[in-house]
Amino acid sequence: MGALNVVLITGISGSGKSVALRMLEDADYTCVDNLPVRFLHEFIVSRVGNAGERIAVAIDARSADELGELPGIIVSLREAGIQLRVVFLEADDVTLLQRYAESRRRHPLSDRMRKKGQVLSLEECLAQERELLDPLRTQGHVVDTSGLTPGQLRAWVRDIVQADRSPLLLTFESFAFKTGVPRDADLVFDVRCLPNPHYDPVLRPLTGRDEPVADWLAGFEDVGQMIDDIEGFLRKWLPRYTEDTRSYLTVAIGCTGGKHRSVYVVETLAQRFAEHKPLLVRHRNQPGLS
């Protein structure tokens, strides 16, 4: 039997925690939503004897008064040898405001602040929530859910929790600058200066994973040089990120539409770093690619 496996889901309200928790429940995790912070350590330690059990706990702004204690509890559990992954979900304000408008739900901080005699707008609640939760961002893997479909989010969370925490989890992610730089990116490389297959009517409907596009891009010296330079940077500095006790590093590659150049560069880099385990590949603007 394996060791106890614990996943802590946290992040900004409206960023998809319920979607992530349902996915984990479907994957046979014992899920606890809105567990008070003060009970987390005792609850996890009490399950240590259940070797091989998988537990997912969601804690967020609903426990606002206790959130300051959470980073220390996470550290103490890890020091006790418990395998604890933290998945921090967030999204940009435009996305969150749209989701709240569609769901017509109140922000969890609104009632709390009203009891203290303060009336905050949704935008003010989101800003306060980001400040409250900011110390948790460095405790685990950050996932920017802006523009993601529920299916994409479920797949990404599944990949994260299945990956071994040691050594560092390296993620290559393509994205479109026209929709914004992902908030979960640690390193960002802009490949919009490279030749663009979009202007070839034959290549336009394809993606960077299709052989005609890959062959076309591989024919340009600048494309190869750009990939060589990014690889060289990562070869030099990846050991330092690992030494810094990081568990995750997300390398985001962006082009205009997130369809051709960035996808090709990500796929090529993933091949070159295939020896690194664990390794994830994501294509933010191409839901059909994984």
The pLDDT of residue 286 is 79
- Residue at 290 is within a domain: no
Q: Are residues 157 and 176 in the same domain?
A: no
**Total residue length of the chain:** 290
User: Is the per-residue pLDDT at 32 higher than 60?
Assistant: yes
Listing DSSP states for 41-104 in one string gives: HHHHHHTTTSTT-EEEEE--GGGGGGGGGHHHHHHHHHHTT-EEEEEEEE--HHHHHHHHHHHT
- Residue at 261 is within a domain: yes
**Cβ–Cβ under 8 Å, residues 134 and 153:** no
Order of strands, edge to edge, in the sheet holding 54-58? Answer: 30-33, 54-58, 5-11, 83-90, 141-144
- Residue at 289 is within a domain: no
Q: Are residues 136 and 230 in the same domain?
A: no
Q: Are residues 41 and 185 in the same domain?
A: no
Q: Over the range 48-65, which residues count as b (16 or more CB within 10 Å of their CB) and which as e?
A: eeeeebbbbbbbbbbbbe
User: Is the per-residue pLDDT at 216 higher than 80?
Assistant: yes
Q: Mean pLDDT highest for which of 70-84, 203-217, 231-245?
A: 203-217
- The stretch 149-156 carries a mean pLDDT of 89
User: Is the per-residue pLDDT at 212 higher than 80?
Assistant: yes
Counted domains in the chain: 2
Instruction: Name 72's Cβ contacts closer than 8 Å, sequence gap at least 6.
Output: none
- The stretch 199-206 carries a mean pLDDT of 96
Name the domain boundary from 162, 194, 214. 162
Place 287 in a pLDDT band, splitting at 50, 70 and 90. low
Name the domain boundary from 108, 138, 162. 162
Task: Return the residue matching tokens 């992040």.
Answer: 11
pLDDT above 70 coverage of the chain, percent: 94
Name the domain boundary from 162, 184, 210. 162
* 211 vs 206: CA distance, rounded Å: 9
User: Is the per-residue pLDDT at 61 higher than 70?
Assistant: yes
Q: Are residues 131 and 183 in the same domain?
A: no
Q: Are residues 24 and 137 in the same domain?
A: yes
Pairing relation of β-strands 187-190 and 248-255? Answer: parallel
Question: Considering the entire predicted model, what is its pTM?
Answer: 0.74
Lowest average pLDDT, out of 30-44, 161-175, 196-210, 272-286, goes to 161-175
Q: Are residues 137 and 9 in the same domain?
A: yes
- The stretch 232-243 carries a mean pLDDT of 91
User: Is the per-residue pLDDT at 105 higher than 90?
Assistant: no
- The stretch 4-24 carries a mean pLDDT of 93
Tell me the average pLDDT of the chain.
Answer: 90
Q: Are residues 16 and 40 in the same domain?
A: yes
The pLDDT of residue 268 is 98
The pLDDT of residue 1 is 40
**Cβ–Cβ under 8 Å, residues 171 and 234:** no
Q: Are residues 22 and 154 in the same domain?
A: yes
User: Is the per-residue pLDDT at 112 higher than 90?
Assistant: no
- The stretch 78-89 carries a mean pLDDT of 90
Question: What is the domain range of residue 266?
Answer: 169-283
Q: Are residues 9 and 107 in the same domain?
A: yes
- The stretch 114-140 carries a mean pLDDT of 86
49: domain CATH number is: 3.40.50.300
- Residue at 136 is within a domain: yes
Place 166 in a pLDDT band, splitting at 50, 70 and 90. low
Q: Are residues 13 and 148 in the same domain?
A: yes
DSSP 8-state symbol, 262: H
The pLDDT of residue 228 is 98
